[in-house]
Amino acid sequence: MKKAFSVLLVIVLTTSMVSCMAIGTGGKKINNKPTLGQELIDLRKAKDEGAVTPKEYEELKDKLKKSLLVSVREE
């Protein structure tokens, strides 16, 4: 009897947790894209560490800024 109660309790708790997680998301898509500021910080660090040349840094920085303008216009 105790074992059956324990199994039933585990099933009920598991079902409750799963439904809470499903309801908690609200069906919204979570955006984990880094901000422009973080991308620029990462890009500068790459330049400082020699992963990209100063010329590549300037080109990539301009590209990031332009992509921000495009995304703002689309909203």
Count helices and strands in the chain by DSSP H and E runs: 3, 0
Instruction: Please state, in angstroms and rounded to a whole number, the distance separating the CA atoms of residues 73 and 14.
Output: 45
Residues 47-68 pLDDT 10s: 999 999 999 999 999 998 888 7
Chain Cα centroid distance, residue 6: 38
Task: In whole angstroms, give the CA distance from residue 19 to residue 67.
Answer: 38
Read off the pTM.
0.53
Q: Rounded distance, CA 20 to CA 13, Å?
A: 11
Segments of the chain with pLDDT less than 70: 1-10, 12-27, 70-75
